Structure 1
Amino acid sequence: MLEKVDFPSDVKGLSIKELQELASDLRKEIIRVTSKNGGHVAPNLGAVELVIALAYVFDQPVDKVIWDVGHQAYAHKLITGRKKAFDTLRQYGGISGFLKRDESIYDVFGAGHASTSISAALGFSVSRDMKKEDHHIVVVVGDGALTGGMALEGLNQLGHLRKNMLVILNDNKMSISPNVGGLKNYLIKLQSAPVYNRLKDDVWDLLGKLPAGLSQKAREAASKVSEGLKNLLVPNLLFEELGIRYFGPIDGHNLPELIEILKKLKNIKGPKLLHVLTVKGKGFEPAEKMPTLFHGLGKYDPETGRPLKKGETPSYSKVFGRTLTDLGKTDQKVIAITAAMPEGTGLDIFREEIPERFYDVGIAEQHAVTFAAGMAASGLKPFCAIYSTFLQRAFDQIIHDVAIQNLPVKFALDRGGIVGEDGPTHHGVFDLSYLRIIPNMIVMAPKDEAELQRMIKTALDYDEGPIAFRYPRGRGLGVKLYEKPEPIPIGTWEVLKEGEDVLILAVGSMVQPSLEATELLKGINPTVVNARFIKPIDEELLRKLIKNHKII
């Protein structure tokens, strides 16, 4: 059936049976391509019916569909003119794994980080109304992204402005790892009380059939009764208290039901939220059983789901997690904090072995940093492990809540540098620049996984202020690891190769390539220095080396 569909308009003429066949074909294609290219498998498999229903009901791209993050949108790409290019997904020169405005007119708003969609859609709605245009605006946001403060800020403003907009909450009970926090528990409570929503809709429709004057009075009275009924059946209904009408929850894999309710919601003005329940990894048994692993992974066997082996060398993330856990067992003040990424950062090891000192705050990097600052101000030793690209979101908190107060928060920046297939929204290329300008901050980058161990120990022992170390994605160099790593004196570099005339100052993952490059040079014998402290620099060594080298 996928062969017959190139654009959303092609979906509209299909029968329910054909739509279900299309869903099956989309899943097969997603599995086929991601098995050889890697990618976000489970979230995309869980959103297939939602993509189809939106294409069936709404008139894209006139109607605007905005996807939060974008890792639910592979099926969207397949039915918006990119089917033939799908084999290039996440490859150099190919199509992005996320939404990109310059890739397709159907990618209304680009993303890669979570919780931005509602705010962006609200901006689109203001523009639409100012221009006196008449089209629908739909947001698809995951329950994990809804834990981000920015999403809640957007909902608050949406309820205040009363814009005609539909927010679809794609609730698979996970973001990357299983969801945490009060909002997760709140959504579970909503799922247990669908009777309120059915009763409210049935009564509202029934009262609308009364004569005009009587109908309005009856509905006003029913609204007052509804408030009491709502608090009885669904305590503290968050969305309706914000002024956003709530519908659901409904089965996100039931195409007839999805299509029917989306058609109804098109005709209801004002802010609305549809709560859709989906299964992460739907239709692919390995992904359904291991949704965290299949959230995002490299190449895998499309039959068994087993990841293709890359060797036995541990990743930098695993070395970090193992080392911090070992140090945490000897120092009761060590705390591990992450923002919805325990497996990705390697802190799943800490969680398993020292659960009472592990905190996953959800997709809330700003909160994570200030949470850590409070701990540091109270004498604890918090390690805040966040991907480099995501720590950008907490820049003000790093300055205002940590650095100005000179608090000893330890920042572990995973995925520093170019990360490859995930593209520009995920490259960790700004960290060295923005961390260096922050007062009181120490900044380090290890040349290999063993030096990473020493930097973790350095951070643990450093109590004079904030300290950060950034390390790359992927596996280490295979060097021997320390059983008991020793700290590195603050601000010291090391000379790895003595030479003359040319001085190479290499940082982090560029140290090994720099050493290899010297072997290719003919007639030139450079000195190679591991400039492992980006701030402060080793001024004493640098002044000494400058005297003996013409080129740096």
Structure 2
Amino acid sequence: MALPSVTPDIPRPGLLRECGSSELTQLAGHIRAFLIDKVTAAGGHLGPNLGVVELTIALHRVFDTPRDTLLFDTGHQSYVHKILTGRRDGFDRLRRCGGLSGYPSRAESPHDHIENSHASTALAYADGLAKARALSGEGHRSVVAVVGDGALTGGLALEALNNIGASPHRPVVVVLNDNGRSYSPTVGALALHLRGLRHAPQSADGGPRTCGPPDHQNFFENLGFLYLGPVDGHDITALEAALGRARTADRPVVVHTVTVKGKGYEPAEADEDDRLHTVGAADPATTAPRTSPAPSWTDVFATELITLAAGREDLVGITAAMPGPTGLARLAAVSPDRVFDVGIAEQHAVTSAAGLAMGGYHPVVALYATFLNRAFDQVLMDVALHRLPVTFVLDRAGITGPDGASHHGMWDLSVLSAVPGLRVGVPRDAPTLRVLLREALDHGDGPTAIRFPKAAAGADIPAVDRGGTGRGSAVDTLACPGVRDVLIVAVGPLATDCLSAAAYLTAQGVGTGVIDPRWVLPVSPEVVRLAAMHRLVVTVEDNTRAAGVGTAVAQACHDAGVRTPVVNLGLPHAFVSHGTRPELLKAAGLHTHGIVHSVLRARAGRPLDTTSSPLWSA
């Protein structure tokens, strides 16, 4: 497939306004070629950014950032914005350690205002910023929020629309980037409503409509917004006309733009699953991966879930706009009526699961670990309080890598440790994941959760012994030296480095054993019993050190009168930047050398080395 040339001549916003129509068309082609070249080399969000090339150009021609505030909801579609604001050269290190973030970043540019890459937030930010502008006498500075139709399925977006629309003199411009998709096709009644608006006829003068079709009520107008659209999101002239009108309206406005995710790149437009939402390093002509990935934790989960579903009619799956990335799409392909995609609505997903459990089913709620944060109250009060059999499967737990601070699933163990009656399992290898999933589904007296990282499942790690009794208290011993100096409590996949560290320490005369509790919360009595038999306990987890497994083990030992000191190794109490999983774990000391170093310091009575790193910030 022939691609336009990649040009270094990409103007910044000031010069952008001087370009003519033909120059803008050429520029859009060059930007698409640049994106395809750079993103397939480094990996990143490709489809969403190809879909907003003309829209972003028009936004920067009509609005004057950073004087005007431009907010990108779910900022993975901000690559074009970065190119137009002087960060083109940074794409050679896109999403790499110390390089350009894949999301807006205030540290990178004054043109970036928010860096929360969780969906459905931009409208609430815009509401607050518009209030601040009015209070400070700066109402002439526009506040613009670019939000996708998928993000509108989130409750927070609807709460913000409810407030913005009720303030007729609050000039917030909502740019609705409607491509019919979030990660997957957008679901729900609002998606059907937008489909109706997309087919509305144009106004008599050929410009955007200011009302919905006669037989279709307009949701946005009913909430108090001026509605402009639908506008072809790839027609810069039409976009500028609508955005210019919105800028001077002095009231809440929705500019409804219709775009094509993956626009201008044949492999993306032909991909009916996710329009190449994200890609790894790939051949730009074919999108074939440059390397063959090993089976991931998600692959193991998806395969096992199908096997279990064949023998359990009560098993159903729920996800929040992520059926493909969480593995539930595979179950949906076999049993479509047993998988529910509720859109970007984690809170609804959890409480809907509670209702399904009340109705006699066992829901498996598959989410990214970081997104479960949004539904903590529902886990606590709607599921756990009622002791309902709901299983949460948390993908992308711990360090996820290049997506950065907002996507690391490094708080789930801390959050879930506060939930009474919730059992949390962390598999060390693929066989353990299969066992934990079966045990979770067999547990009918309360919720369970299983977490695993975004990574290959790795080699199997056999146990040399299993202690304790009962499904929740059995603990696997992975290494047991003759001298019981140190006990390492390995949490999940970190068992590999824990075993390497134990072998080194034992060879140096420090008898070090390793156990895997498998069900890490609540703490098994067997862990406490083994702790009492050692001189030092070291817990190792890829969760923040605050309130995670290590804290729970220390508390359990204290409550049982066990005086063995407990040292907790984990991620810093900070926001961790982007980089590869091995790089970031190494920076936190969660690798073989780091574990050895920490054990030796602890045995010598010296404090942990908590040296700050440029890869995280408090």
TM-score under structure 2 length normalisation: 0.81
Partner of 1:284: 265
Could you list the per-position Cα deviations for residues 382-417 of structure 1 after superposition, in whole angstroms to 9, with x for gaps in the alignment? 110010001110011111101111111111011100
| % identity of equivalent residues | 41
Tell whether 2:284 aligns with 1:302: yes
Higher relative contact order (CA 8 A, sep 6+): 1
Tell whether 2:77 aligns with 1:96: no
Q: Are the equivalent residues in 2 in contact too, given 1:50–1:253 (CA < 8 A)?
A: yes
Residue identity in the other structure for 1:310: S
Partner of 2:191: 184
Q: Are the equivalent residues in 1 in contact too, given 2:503–2:512 (CA < 8 A)?
A: no
Partner of 1:368: 349
Partner of 1:498: 480
**1:379 offset after TM fit, Å?**
1.4
In structure 2, stretches of 5+ residues that fail to align are 1-5, 463-468, 539-618
Tell whether 2:227 aligns with 1:246: yes
Q: 2: CA distance between counterparts of 1:347 and 1:107?
A: 34
**1:321 offset after TM fit, Å?**
1.4
Q: Are the equivalent residues in 1 in contact too, given 2:517–2:527 (CA < 8 A)?
A: no
Give the number of the structure whose residues are more often helix, by fraction: 1
TM-score under structure 1 length normalisation: 0.90
Partner of 1:518: 502
Residue identity in the other structure for 1:119: A
Partner of 1:321: 302
Q: Are the equivalent residues in 1 in contact too, given 2:208–2:231 (CA < 8 A)?
A: no
Structure-2 change in CA distance of 1:315 and 1:91 (3 Å):
same
Q: 2: CA distance between counterparts of 1:6 and 1:546?
A: 66
Could you list the per-position Cα deviations for residues 321-379 of structure 1 after superposition, in whole angstroms to 9, with x for gaps in the alignment? 11112111111110100000011001111000011111000000000000000111121
Structure-2 change in CA distance of 1:416 and 1:339 (3 Å):
same
Instruction: Report which stretch shifted further, 262-271 or 413-422.
Output: 262-271
Structure-2 change in CA distance of 1:390 and 1:541 (3 Å):
closer
Residue identity in the other structure for 1:329: A
Q: Are the equivalent residues in 1 in contact too, given 2:262–2:275 (CA < 8 A)?
A: no
Could you list the per-position Cα deviations for residues 402-450 of structure 1 after superposition, in whole angstroms to 9, with x for gaps in the alignment? 1111111111011100000000000000001110111111111000122
Residue identity in the other structure for 2:79: Y
Tell whether 2:146 aligns with 1:140: yes
Residue identity in the other structure for 1:331: R
Partner of 2:127: 122
Q: 2: CA distance between counterparts of 1:168 and 1:493?
A: 53
Instruction: Give the counterpart of 2:33 among 1, 16, 28.
Output: 28
Q: 2: CA distance between counterparts of 1:116 and 1:356?
A: 31
Partner of 2:548: none
**1:2 offset after TM fit, Å?**
5.3
Partner of 1:405: 386
Instruction: Report which stretch shifted further, 498-507 or 514-523.
Output: 514-523
**1:22 offset after TM fit, Å?**
1.3
Instruction: Report which stretch shifted further, 284-293 or 121-130.
Output: 284-293
Structure-2 change in CA distance of 1:2 and 1:274 (3 Å):
farther
Q: Are the equivalent residues in 2 in contact too, given 1:413–1:470 (CA < 8 A)?
A: yes
**1:4 offset after TM fit, Å?**
3.6
Q: 2: CA distance between counterparts of 1:191 and 1:6?
A: 32
Q: 1: CA distance between counterparts of 2:188 and 2:440?
A: 29
Partner of 2:53: 48
Q: 1: CA distance between counterparts of 2:27 and 2:437?
A: 50
In structure 1, stretches of 5+ residues that fail to align are 205-225, 482-486
**1:540 offset after TM fit, Å?**
2.7
Q: Are the equivalent residues in 2 in contact too, given 1:194–1:248 (CA < 8 A)?
A: no
Could you list the per-position Cα deviations for residues 165-185 of structure 1 after superposition, in whole angstroms to 9, with x for gaps in the alignment? 111110111100111111111
Partner-residue secondary structure (3-state), 1:342: coil
Q: Are the equivalent residues in 2 in contact too, given 1:491–1:536 (CA < 8 A)?
A: no
Q: 1: CA distance between counterparts of 2:283 and 2:311?
A: 41
Q: 1: CA distance between counterparts of 2:73 and 2:158?
A: 13
Structure-2 change in CA distance of 1:10 and 1:3 (3 Å):
farther
**1:480 offset after TM fit, Å?**
10
Q: Are the equivalent residues in 1 in contact too, given 2:47–2:261 (CA < 8 A)?
A: yes
